[in-house]
Structure 1
Amino acid sequence: MREFLEDADKHRDDGYGRAQHLNKVELPKRFYKEVGVGSAPGGFAVTLDGKTPRTPAQKPVVVPYQSVAAAMAEEWAAQQEFIDPKTMPMVRLINSAVEAGDERLEALREEIVKYSGNDLLLYRADTPRELVAEQERVWDAVLIKLARHFEIGFQPTIGIVHQPQPAPTLERLRTSLADAKLIEAVALNSLTGITGSGLLSIALREGLLTPEEVWTAAHVDEDYNVRLWGVVEEATERRAKRRMEFDAAVRVLEMVRG
């Protein structure tokens, strides 16, 4: 559904070899001793024994924010004998942005708007009663905040049949993203994919919700099922992985907007 994120997933291990099935593929050994952050043409970059990491397309990973480069350096420095891409969500996120390039920026912004028009928060269950009530309690509160903040309206629906949202609403959301630069847009896309909600991503960006409130709203259905059926180990592992990616994207947003 989201072309960019599907493409970005193919590059999740950029800069240190692609390992799509990490349990089956041997991890690369750490090939550097010293990790640092230095100035580079166009901004800042991690240095591995004085050299700047590159993407598979051989693009140097240079960012306009020293804090982002420092966060990536932390992940590189934390690697032990082997480099485990699963423990480097910040590096993977930024490499995806570098691979995308500014030519994809408008498409990245628009993807969030498109997602918002078919958003998780807008499609409600009709049963069971407990889940309906929880969706109303959590999701309606988010929609109200967004509606008041942007002076717009939403049209939630029951079921999965497509319900178009008002054109002025989508246009206002589009306008709100007009100043999002590349790295921020990639982080917002990542959050949108993780949560299933462009509206939650926009609400976080606008300071209407905290990260924890976003995470809770994104997992209303899943948390209901956990309460009903109990914890499933595999699902718990997937959730932990998503949380790591979520936290990395949130951290990027805080750094670029701080």
Structure 2
Amino acid sequence: MNLALFPDVVVSGETIPSAAIAAEAQNHTAPRDKPGIAWRKAAQALTIRALLLQEANARGLKPDPLELAPGRFETEDEALIRALLDEALTIAPVTEDAVRTEWARDPDRYRSAPLWDVSHILCACDPRDEAERGLAEARATALLARLDGDAKGFAAAARESDCGSKASDGHLGQLGPGDTVPEFEAAVRTLPEGGISPAPVLSRHGWHIIRLNATAPGQVLPYDTVRPKIVQALEKAAWARASRDFVEGLAQGAQISGASLAPI
């Protein structure tokens, strides 16, 4: 990226170095052919950071870094920003009416995790080994072609699996979200009951042929169970609105060039 194409960012007399913006841009997504979007997002983030630090210093706040994890502490800038927001923002308590209104808007959003009854056939390989991966894929593809969607023949074919589940006709039992590797779960989620994966699925373990035997959808959870989650979400949303309004107020009283706080 040609840094000379981008103007200097200055916040009330404080210049943010282009190198700092370039480094921050690595933390922001943008289309591959539009790197300028990542730059503008980074410039915006550092502009907001500068506004907050300038305000913290103007109020005479002192950093008191917290330990975030054993041996890992906030930076002084992070501690200053936290102290400023703690002092400046007042968030009204979430009312019971607000929680019940949010719940009533769509109770179906709050469900227990689904369960999937799954069987599979594994053609094991090390996916990093191209030759081994190719041989295992060819074997899995041949097995799948032999099945030709015949769910009844799955149990017999599963006896050729490289997984210990072959002793139970490939049956893995009931699985929930997070119980398997992401590639496997993503494939399970696309299958209808009784369906077999249309193509072998690659994971760190090798190639899988997957059959979804049955699905138990999650049940709508009672209000008392989900209330804490709703309260937390409403508090988080209120804090986000308050902090956004606070930053906008700081920006109105500052002189900013080379960056915009408008949504990107």
Relative to the length of structure 1, the TM-score reads 0.22
Larger Rg: 2
If each structure's strand is expressed as a fraction of its own residues, which one has the higher value? 2
* Greater relative CO (CA pairs within 8 A, separation 6+): 2
Identify the structure with the greater helix proportion. 1
Taking structure 2 as the reference length, what is the TM-score of the superposition?
0.22
